[in-house]
Structure 1
Amino acid sequence: MKKAIFYGTTTNTTNEVASILSDITGIDDVYNVIDGIDNILNYDLIYVLTPTYGRGELQDDWALVIEKIEKLDFSSKYVALLGTGDIIVHGDSFVNTLRAMYEVFKKANAKIVGMVDTKGYDFLESSSIENGKFLGLPIDHLNEYDLTEERIENWQKIIQKEVDLNE
């Protein structure tokens, strides 16, 4: 199974999380979407990392490629979403961009994997929850950086149950 990480970043936080994810998973194919997404369909499992701005606006680099993603067919692809956000400053809209990315990839027929239980997160509100689970992995690497690695490792166990990562 070919795996890759695609991320957008403005303040470099999501880049740091992408690096941690790469170290934990052993994935060497890591792409900043500012450089394009032309090769995104070359992978079977695609990790999509996005920060949240404001109340859930797409990060600028993702906003530039989102229309292209909407035109692609991900029906044979697994997509695992990871959203970075600030649980303190934006606790009333924590990782809302996960919802936007979920909708885009779901519309493109992707199989979304890696939904995470809301337990262990202290936030006010998020539009990125369905049936008691986040639509991906929420990470607050600014205020809860000491939990980032553990949360990613636990997330990998969830994804492993849903996808044969060794395939």
Structure 2
Amino acid sequence: MKIAVIYGSDTGNTERVAYLIQSGLGQDIVDLYDVYAIDSTIFSQYDVFIFGVPTWYDGQLQSDWELMVKKMNTTCLNQRIVAVFGLGDQENWGRYFVDAMGTLARKALACGAILVGKWPTFGYHFEQSQSLIEENYFYGLALDEDQQPELTAERVSIWINQLSAEFVNLGIHFSVIKNVA
């Protein structure tokens, strides 16, 4: 079994994080895809997905993800495992911090996905976010390459360990998974 990491990236930041995730989980089990270069048939090829999306302007999805979300339906993600990570700027766009991640997570849930990887809000300073699953948790890993780039690698590493444990709890085992410290 393999994991598909699907990301949209205009500036390269989300792509770079996708590669960090691939490196942390292991290239043998993670296939990377730019959402721009794929179509919705990808959803029939994997049981586990990690979606990466930056938030643009006042909470908008990255343009390539916007197109893909329109094609997603209940048959494509039903009972598939999905984790999400999002990038945003909590200082300059604090009213919309990682909103696109919330949009993508809610769409996955509406399509029948099993969402994993919620992430605590501790250490972030934002006004509001459409990515809150609970008062103190985001739907997935929130990253800020504008204000806190020095925390990205550590946050990704911790999240990978968390995801690995959640996969095991769901009965999903990968033959090659790196031990991420």
TM-score with structure 1 length normalisation?
0.92
Instruction: Indicate yes or no: 2:169 matched with 1:166.
Output: no
Give the match's secondary structure for 2:6: strand
1:70 paired with 2:73, answer yes
| 1:16 matched residue in structure 2 | 16
Moved over 6 A (4+): none
Asked if 1 retains the 8 angstrom alpha-carbon contact of 2:103 and 2:130, the reply is: no
Aligned to 2:3: 3
What residue is the counterpart of 1:43 in the other structure? Answer: 46
Give how far 1:88 is off: 1.7
Q: Does the CA-based 8 Å contact 2:77-2:112 persist in structure 1?
A: yes
**Aligned ranges 1:142-157 → 2 under 5 Å:** 142-157=146-161
Query: Percent of counterpart pairs with the same letter?
Result: 31
Query: One-letter code of the match for 1:3?
Result: I
Gaps of 5+ in 1: none
Shift of 1:128: 1.0
- Calculate the aligned-residue CA RMSD, in Å: 1.6
Structure 2 unmatched ranges of 5 or more = 175-181
Pick from 119, 124, 147: which aligns with 2:122?
A: 119
Q: Check the 8 A contact 1:78/1:111 in 2, yes or no.
A: yes
8 Å CA contact retained: 2:35, 2:64: yes
- In the aligned structure 1, how far is the partner of 2:107 from the partner of 2:10? 21
Give the counterpart of 1:96 among 96, 99, 107: 99
Distance in structure 2 (CA, Å) of the matches to 1:90 and 1:26: 33
**TM-score of the superposed pair, with normalisation by structure 2:** 0.85
On the 8 A contact 2:74/2:110 being kept in 1, the answer is no
Render the CA deviation track for 1:88-119: whole Å, top value 9, x for unaligned: 21112110111110111011100000000111
TM-superposed deviation, 1:135: 0.6
Q: How many residues align?
A: 167
Q: Is 1:110 aligned to 2:113, yes or no?
A: yes
Distance (whole Å) between structure 1 residues aligned to residue 112 and residue 67 of structure 2: 20
Say yes or no: does 1:80 pair with 2:87.
no
Q: Distance in 2 between matches of 1:96 and 1:33?
A: 18
Give the conservation status (yes or no) of the 8 Å contact 2:74–2:112.
no
